[in-house]
Amino acid sequence: MMLAELQRDFQSWLTSASTDAAARLGAEAGLAVYQNNYRAQLVGCLEQTYPQLRRRIGEDEFLRVSIAHIDSHPPHAWTLDRYGDDFGTTLAALFPHNPDLHELAWVEHALAAAFVAADADPLPLDAWAAIDWDKATLRLTPSFAIRAAVTNAEEVWSALWQEHAVPDSAMLADAGGLIAWRRGHVSRLRQVDALERDALLALQAHGSFAALCQMLVERLGADDGVAKAGALLADWLSNDIIIDAV
Amino acid sequence: MSTTLFSGYGLGLRKEHYRDFLESDVDVDFVEVISENFMVDGGQPRHILRQIRERHPVALHGVSMSIGSADGLRNDYLQGLKRLANEIEPLFVSDHLSWSRIAGFNSHDLLPLPYTEEALDVVCANIAQAQEVLGRPMLFENPSSYLAFGGTMTEWEFLAAMTRRTGCGLLLDINNIHVSAVNHGYDALAYLDGIPADCVRQVHLAGHSQGRDLLIDTHDSPVSDAVWQLYAKALTLLGPVATMIERDDHIPPLQELLQELSTARGIGASARAANNASTAGILRITEAA
């Protein structure tokens, strides 16, 4: 058998336990070890990426989702760290009516991704005085991630993380957003209201501070809009969410 | 093989021991890290590795190159490893004689190769590419395996041919020799006699477990007596090597691993003394003649 054929047979054995492939490869006991290693490693990877989700839904249920994910998503990336990237898709398919779980999974994945994202080199605070704000394009930190939020997933994740009493999942009175980023070496998570979510999404899309001010003025009126833009900017700068301007 | 000869004793660096290594003077000559854990864009892992590198020589040991893939290597992987190696200036860059990936599928396991001329051609072409991109010779580790394909050569013959054709070096995992020898019923001493001893630059020592039918290379327990004995035998054949205790699961307190490393140092000292005595004997005989 040519090497490429042997390797495709091995893939078939690992991903679908193909008996035809196994018969061509031989040595049943050895194949079983590799099959077990393959699946155990992927389950372990998902457990490490989503520890709080696992606690939330329970070990048996987490294993059921993991097995479904492994059966439908063979790994492709060279790094095992990426294997959990699509887990939210499987979770959404098995729990279509649980936005709380979708958001909790997003939180864990976003924080893990932020932990090893590219380092930021924030502009010193005194350098911001020289920025031409009418023309400035603001740059978010490389670790920044954002999504819409409709549940109290941030509160649930924080309680699980701190091993406090975990609240029941609940819908937010007003939908907002979740942001994750890294400041220094520490990943951070914050729930934001709809206005800040939209402001950050706009900034992520085009980076223009002038356009951001325009959007806020249209929403809040001239005085409140400009004041809000200033307040948001100050907060983003002080938390290293925005790191640079060009 | 032009890698600088290095002789010393080290540990596989695991996150459970980061603090020990950063806050105290740990008695090791080098540490080995899993390359992929640090092939990230930024953040704390790279920061910690830079700090460790200021204190100790570092060997980079990979698990994802997939040197036996029939459809070649991934350039993005090679470029990532090159960036890391250029920054860290490692003692060695190593990976395994195995394959993990085919046609976009990645098993994330070290899968066995058939020891055939065709596989040798594939492995050697891939090693040549990797060494060209990295700009340095690599070491490749003999695998532990649970399945043997009918090939045209033994594993040690394959390793010898591979080093001759590519100039790569060997990372000899003594535990893997023992595990595979038991699983496949061959003689571990014949294996040691068959490898090109002058190409071995590094040695791994680790523990294994007894599975239902086979020995399993679990790296989750102390080095076994059989592996210590094989290590002592290996040192009578090898030149200067870096020896390392490798533990990947059930990580014990650092002191426990340092005690194992002390055992390795003791065996190494005995082997050196025996080798020196043997050499002196040869010299005396030569002088008498």
pLDDT band at B239 (very low <50, low <70, confident <90, very high): confident
Beta-ladder partners of B171: B141, B202
Q: Is the pLDDT of residue B36 over 80?
A: yes
| Residue type present at position B249 | D
Q: What is the dihedral of CA A222, A223, A226, A232, to 10 degrees?
A: -130
Inter-residue contact B169 to B195 (CB < 8 Å): no
Mean pLDDT of B188-217: 94
Q: Is the pLDDT of residue B2 over 50?
A: no
Supply the DSSP string of B177-221, one letter for each residue. Answer: HHHHHHHHT--HHHHHHHS-GGGEEEEEE---EE-SSSEE----S
Six-digit token string for B46: 């790279």
Residue pairs between chains A and B whose CB atoms are closer than 8 Å: 118
Which of helix, strand or coil describes residue B38?
helix
Residues A23, A26, A27: CA angle, nearest 5 degrees = 135
Q: How far is the C-alpha of B233 from the C-alpha of B176, rounded, in Å? A: 15
Q: What is the reported pTM?
A: 0.92
> What pLDDT, on a 0 to 100 scale, did the predictor assign at position A10?
97
| Residue type present at position B25 | D
Return all residues near B214 (Cβ < 8 A) that are at least 6 apart. Answer: A29, A30, A33, B146, B182, B183
Six-digit token string for A199: 């402001």
Inter-residue contact B57 to B30 (CB < 8 Å): yes
pLDDT tens per residue across all 246 residues of chain A: 899 999 999 999 999 999 999 999 987 789 999 999 999 999 999 999 999 999 999 999 999 999 999 999 999 999 999 999 999 999 999 999 999 999 999 999 999 999 999 999 999 988 998 999 999 999 999 999 999 999 999 999 999 999 999 999 999 999 999 999 999 999 999 999 999 999 999 999 999 999 999 999 999 999 999 999 999 999 999 999 999 998
**% of chain B residues with pLDDT over 70:** 94
Greater confidence, B284 or B66? B66
Residue B263 CA, chain-centre distance (Å), reads 19
Q: Is the pLDDT of residue B289 over 50?
A: no
> What pLDDT, on a 0 to 100 scale, did the predictor assign at position B4?
56
CB contact under 8 A, B109 and A116: no
| Residue type present at position B131 | Q
Q: How many CB atoms lie within 10 A of CB B120?
A: 21
Q: Which of B66, B102, B145 sits opposite A8 (nearest CB)?
A: B102
Q: Is the pLDDT of residue B286 over 60?
A: no
CB contact under 8 A, A78 and B64: yes
Q: How far is the C-alpha of B236 from the C-alpha of B189, rounded, in Å? A: 12
| Residue type present at position A141 | T
Could you say which residues from 116 to 155 on chain A have a Cβ atom under 8 Å away from some Cβ of chain B? 116-119, 142
- According to the 3-state scheme, what is the secondary structure of B45-75? HHHHHHHHHHHCCEEEECCCCCCCCCCCCCH
Which among B48, B116, B146, B182 is the top mutation candidate for probing chain A, defined by the most A β-carbons within 10 Å of its own β-carbon?
B146
Q: How far is the C-alpha of A34 from the C-alpha of B111, rounded, in Å? A: 8
CB contact under 8 A, A78 and B43: no
Does A31 reach chain B within 8 Å, measured CB to CB?
Answer: yes
Does B43 reach chain A within 8 Å, measured CB to CB?
Answer: yes
Six-digit token string for A41: 């490693």
CB contact under 8 A, A38 and B108: yes
From chain B, pick out residues whose CB is under 8 angstroms from the CB of A243. Answer: none
β pairing state of B209-210 and B215-216: antiparallel
Supply the DSSP string of chain A, one letter for each residue. Answer: --HHHHHHHHHHHHHH--HHHHHHH--HHHHHHHHHHHHHHHHHHHHHH-HHHHHHH-HHHHHHHHHHHHHH----SSSGGGGGGGHHHHHHHH-TT-HHHHHHHHHHHHHHHHHTSPPP-PPPGGGGGG--TTT-BEEE-TT-EEEEEEE-HHHHHHHHHHT-PPPPP-EEEEEEEEEEEEETTEEEEEEE-HHHHHHHHHHHHH-BHHHHHHHHHHHH-HHHHHHHHHHHHHHHHHTTSEEEE-
Q: How far is the C-alpha of B216 from the C-alpha of B219, rounded, in Å? A: 9
Which of helix, strand or coil describes residue B222?
coil
Does B227 reach chain A within 8 Å, measured CB to CB?
Answer: no
From chain A, pick out residues whose CB is under 8 angstroms from the CB of B104. Answer: 76
CB contact under 8 A, A30 and B183: yes
Does A41 reach chain B within 8 Å, measured CB to CB?
Answer: yes
Mean pLDDT of B104-126: 97
Closest-CA distance of chain B to residue A61, Å? 24
Q: Which residue of A has its CA nearest to B184?
A: A30
Could you say which residues from 154 to 173 on chain B have a Cβ atom under 8 Å away from some Cβ of chain A? none
Q: Which residue of B has its CA nearest to A2?
A: B118
Token pair 């640079």 in the structure block, residue: A244
Q: Which of A6, A8, A116 sits opposite B45 (nearest CB)?
A: A116
Q: How far is the C-alpha of B170 from the C-alpha of B156, rounded, in Å? A: 11
Per-domain residue ranges of chain A: 1-96, 121-246
